[in-house]
Amino acid sequence: MGDMIRDPSPATRDNRNRLFYGTFIHSKTREELEYLHNTAVAVDASGTIVAVNKTCATSREAEDDVCSKLGWRHGEFDVRIAKEGQFFFPGFIDTHVHASQYPNVGIFGKSTLLDWLNTYTFPMEASLADLRKAKRVYTACVRRTLAHGTTTSAYYATIDVAATNLLADICLRLGQRAFVGRVCMDREGFCPDFYIDESVEQSVEKSRVVAEYIRGIDPGYELVAPILTPRFAPACTAPALEGLARLQKELDVLVQTHVSENEGEVALVAELFPWSKSYTDVYDKTGLLGEKMILAHAVHLSEEEATTIARQGAKVSHCPCSNSSITSGAARVRWMWDKGIDVGLGTDMSGGYSPSILEAARQAALVSRHVAMRLEGEEKERAKLTVDEVLFLATRGGAKVVGLGDKIGGFEVGKQWDAQLVGLAMVDEEGEADGDSNVDIFGWENWEERIAKWVYNGDDRNTKSVWVKGRLVHERR
Amino acid sequence: MGDMIRDPSPATRDNRNRLFYGTFIHSKTREELEYLHNTAVAVDASGTIVAVNKTCATSREAEDDVCSKLGWRHGEFDVRIAKEGQFFFPGFIDTHVHASQYPNVGIFGKSTLLDWLNTYTFPMEASLADLRKAKRVYTACVRRTLAHGTTTSAYYATIDVAATNLLADICLRLGQRAFVGRVCMDREGFCPDFYIDESVEQSVEKSRVVAEYIRGIDPGYELVAPILTPRFAPACTAPALEGLARLQKELDVLVQTHVSENEGEVALVAELFPWSKSYTDVYDKTGLLGEKMILAHAVHLSEEEATTIARQGAKVSHCPCSNSSITSGAARVRWMWDKGIDVGLGTDMSGGYSPSILEAARQAALVSRHVAMRLEGEEKERAKLTVDEVLFLATRGGAKVVGLGDKIGGFEVGKQWDAQLVGLAMVDEEGEADGDSNVDIFGWENWEERIAKWVYNGDDRNTKSVWVKGRLVHERR
């Protein structure tokens, strides 16, 4: 798209030290954002934050400070200043997204999960075995999500090995941090003839091939890592799930799947796995459930399932856009938090209609109010998620879900510089706003109110620049 | 804002005949959009559609056609062509919006209706007695909503006469069709001391003064008309409601208020009007309920209330963004339709967080799915609103609600040219989109799918041009 960078030149690969100055906002706790004004963040050439100074009256003072403390020399590092009203915010983390379904966003009619898969999803995914089409779709998806400030994505690709490897290539080239998963689905009768793994063994081995490919292009998993991806219990046989559990332990990588999205699906799982106590139990018994597992949706969990998930340390990706649009239900985030489960946000394109995690955060707030409408008294009040809480879900919450809680999600020394610069439009005395934005700031709003305005009306126009691991990966022209 | 027109020059006041050519999309029925390709719509200098030709292979053919049929002469009319992939769509109609609350969009915290009024709303509204501030706020609001394709708005201003008159001036100047209402609220104990009408008589008479002012600036109500605006039952005394009912009959203008938005409010109305059978009954007994009345929200109506509203021919403004954000509830549009009630959409800024009726349409679809989640079987399926249905709400549905069903909302001879030109971005072979838009079209989508993509991911960037009564009132640069 017109405002996205094309192949970055070596100069934008950011192999210099950098200093960022101005207002920084990130989550202090799950309940509370922290507003750091007159702050300087120094990022070294590897993309790591090496200093944070919260008391620099001017950018010049910040420059002098890094020179004296870090031994940097004036002119040998770049300085980026957040202008008045702008702020640096951690990059968003999309903990559940089907890159292969990107062309279908917004297209779901009145369908629900199981008919949606057959009508819209499987045909589109199967068609990406055409690598030229896959390149076009995946490139559009990665560019679009970067423009929305998504610096890390946990992707489902398709069952095709070559196309999945291509998605990993594209993430690496465009600079998005990503977990890339080949979709495993081997159950005859559920999977369509034209879109199914040949056997249990193939389901597992093809996943290994993709993991090895990614190790080849990014040996330390610095930016791109493999993630095992059994589609969901109804599409997989128990032996395949068990095989993937063994592979997961061998490779020590993340694994992602869906759980308890839709009532019809829950009933189907009970029928297909008659030995299981619950949907969650299928993953537990086959050895998959553990700290490295991301479970998408978790809408209709029983108390017992939530307890099991918490005990095993598995994470949940909350996908409010998707759950509303295909009428799956309203997931109870506060209830999951109360159980001790870590939760992040997912766009779940294209069950979810939007590429934006800011939209997912907004919908998380709204869906929590629909959860509240069914409750009474204190429980009703508690169910509602605040602006601060949904932004936690979008950043630090997501970081923990993808196992990178110590690496991304906030501005601390030692973390990676995965960040976005956000700007809102100011309305002048004549009632005109400067610049193209859907957020109007009149000037009397405090910072908390500005952030609320951003969450409820902001979009990719407000995301001026995006960095991943120190590299500038998107800039609006 | 940078991309909005400033004071249009006489040349853009469009006092020439105009011909529009390309694809036109509007509601054929409540359930179904109509797609008119290779179509020409001729609009005369007064802004009225004078011819529609659905079989013009080229724009040249369309030009020849109007010359032969209408006696227009080449070169003496302007031609605007919707490019490949673009389409003309009726302007959106916002049937419930508080212009005075525009600066507060997105700011509501965890509040619900009654505390939200006291914390955020009344202080902001009262502050607009400062006409310089009112001018800034109202101008920003009208410009912003025009940019989102809203060609008609039913506005609540404030209790202040001068500021309300100013809003009417601004609508007229910027060219937005509008109903402008001075807010009536005379109940001591509910209304704050700093923001209340002095007496029943003042509540009524000040409304008359505004109506007379508007008649002075737009004698035929060609663009701007007054609308009586008792805030809602809890803020008004019965004598004031009765006085406004008499004034409504005398002036024969629209009247707007709120009904049954929130459960606490419903209980309060029962307490304040002990003689009433229901919230709706308060308006019915005081003589307000009738064909010219717009009732916003209608979330918690009883069967009997809905029957009464339908019998009296009153209309409902559905405000899904607001109902979700301040946790009011989920209004049942299908149920109201089944009762025979006409329904349109309202942004309800700033209970609603968004200035966009496209966002309201999107949320109407999503909220209908939350309504569905509480139902079973056939009722569950029926509750869901389709893309075609929410776009009907946004256009023809809204037109009927504001009493202009014969004048706006679609493309027929005799209707006014209140329209928007919409464009979506095309993704090229390299996965890059042309132009700034959040909707990516790959080229294989049919028209129904393109419209679904627009509804779920579109925004003001897709609205390229906006006309009201033939006049170009917004164009993206």
Helices (H), B101-199: 113-116, 122-127, 131-147, 161-174
How many C-beta neighbours within 10 Å does residue A429 have?
11
Does the CB of A384 have a partner CB in chain B at under 8 Å?
A: yes
* Dihedral in degrees, nearest 10, Cα atoms A15, A404, A284, A326: -80
A1 shares contact with chain B (CB less than 8 Å): yes
The predicted-structure confidence for B104-122, as pLDDT tens digits, reads as follows 999 998 888 999 999 999 9
Q: Which of residues 92-121 of B touch A (CB under 8 A)?
A: 102-103, 105-110
Is the sign of the CA dihedral B269, B156, B133, B128 positive or negative? Answer: negative
Question: Per-residue pLDDT averaged across B463-471, rounded?
Answer: 98
Q: Is B327 helix (H, G, I), strand (E, B) or coil?
A: coil
Helix (H) or strand (E) holding B18, with range, is: strand B17-27
pLDDT tens readout for residues B339-360: 999 999 999 999 999 999 999 9
Task: Report the number of secondary-structure helices (H) and strands (E) in chain B.
Answer: 17, 19
The pLDDT value recorded for residue A5 is 38
Q: Rounded distance, CA B394 to CA B364, Å?
A: 10
Residue B231: pLDDT over 90:
yes
Distance from CA of B234 to the nearest CA of A (A): 22
> For residue B435, is pLDDT > 50?
yes
How much is the pLDDT for B14? 57
According to DSSP, the residues that pair with B229 across neighbouring strands are B183
Closest-CA distance, A6 to chain B, in angstroms, reads 9
- Whether residue B15 is predicted with pLDDT greater than 60 in this model: the reply is yes
Specify the domain boundaries for CATH 3.20.20.140 within chain A: 92-402
Own/partner pairs, A5-12, CB within 8 angstroms, 24+ separation: A5/A472, A5/A473, A5/A474, A5/A475, A6/B432, A7/A173, A8/A175, A8/A471, A8/A472, A8/A473, A12/A471, A12/A472
Query: What is the mean predicted confidence (pLDDT) over B22-39?
Result: 98
pLDDT at A2: 36
* ipTM of the prediction: 0.96
DSSP string, B265-301: HHHHHHHH-TT-SSHHHHHHHTT--STTEEEEE--S-
* Ranges in chain A annotated CATH 2.30.40.10: 18-90+413-475
pLDDT of B8 higher than 70: no
Overall average pLDDT of the B127-153 stretch: 98
Confidence (pLDDT) at A6: 40
What gap in Å lies between CA A14 and CA A472, rounded to an integer?
7
H or E segment at A459?
Answer: none
Q: Are A128 and A98 in contact (CB under 8 A)?
A: no
pLDDT of residue B85: 87
Query: Is A377 in the B-facing interface, judged by CB distances under 8 Å?
Result: no
- Tell me what pLDDT residue B4 has: 38
Residue by residue, pLDDT tens for chain A (477 residues) are: 333 334 444 334 457 999 999 999 999 999 999 999 999 999 999 999 999 999 999 999 999 999 999 999 999 999 999 999 899 999 999 999 999 999 999 999 888 899 999 999 999 999 999 999 999 999 999 999 999 999 999 999 999 999 999 999 999 999 999 999 999 999 999 999 999 999 999 999 999 999 999 999 999 999 999 999 999 999 999 999 999 999 999 999 999 999 999 999 999 999 999 999 999 999 999 999 999 999 999 999 999 999 999 999 999 999 999 999 999 999 999 999 999 999 999 999 999 999 999 999 999 999 999 999 999 999 999 999 999 999 999 999 999 999 999 999 999 999 999 999 999 989 999 999 888 899 999 999 999 999 999 999 999 999 999 999 999 999 997
A366 touching B, CB under 8 A? yes
Rounded CA gap, A41 and A51, in Å?
Answer: 6
- Percent of chain B whose predicted confidence (pLDDT) is above 70: 97
Q: 3-class SS at A52?
A: strand
Beta bridge pairs of residue A179: A154, A225
Tracing tokens 């072979």 back to the chain, one arrives at B429
Do the Cβ atoms of B453 and A107 come within 8 Å? Answer: yes
Would you place residue B65 in the very low, low, confident or very high pLDDT band (cuts 50, 70, 90)? very high
Average pLDDT of chain B, as a whole number: 95
pLDDT at B211 over 80: yes
Q: What is the mean pLDDT of residues B411-422?
A: 98
Count Cβ atoms below 10 Å from residue B407 Cβ, excluding itself. Answer: 16
Q: Which of A438, A441, A451, A463 to probe the B interface (max B CBs under 10 A)?
A: A438
**Distance linking the first and last C-alpha atoms of chain A:** 11
Half-sphere exposure of B194 (CA within 13 A, CB side): 10
Searching chain A, which residue's CA lies closest to the CA of residue B443?
A: A103
- The band of B144, judged by pLDDT with boundaries at 50, 70 and 90, is very high
Q: What's the start-to-end Cα distance of chain B, in Å?
A: 11
A92-402 homologous superfamily: Metal-dependent hydrolases (3.20.20.140)
Say which amino acid occupies B231. Answer: R
Chain A residue with Cα closest to B325: A366
According to CATH, what is the number of the domain A18-90+413-475? Answer: 2.30.40.10
How far apart CA A10 and CA A13 sit, in angstroms, is 5
Average pLDDT over residues B423-430: 93
Buried b (16+ CB within 10 A) or exposed e, A8-45: beeeeebeebbbbbbbbbbbeeeeebebbebbbbbbbe
Q: Which residues of B touch A355 (CB under 8 A)?
A: 438, 457
Residue A279: both structure tokens together: 């949907």
| Beta strands B49-53; A293-297: pairing state | unpaired
Find the CB nearest B431 among A143, A356, A435: A143
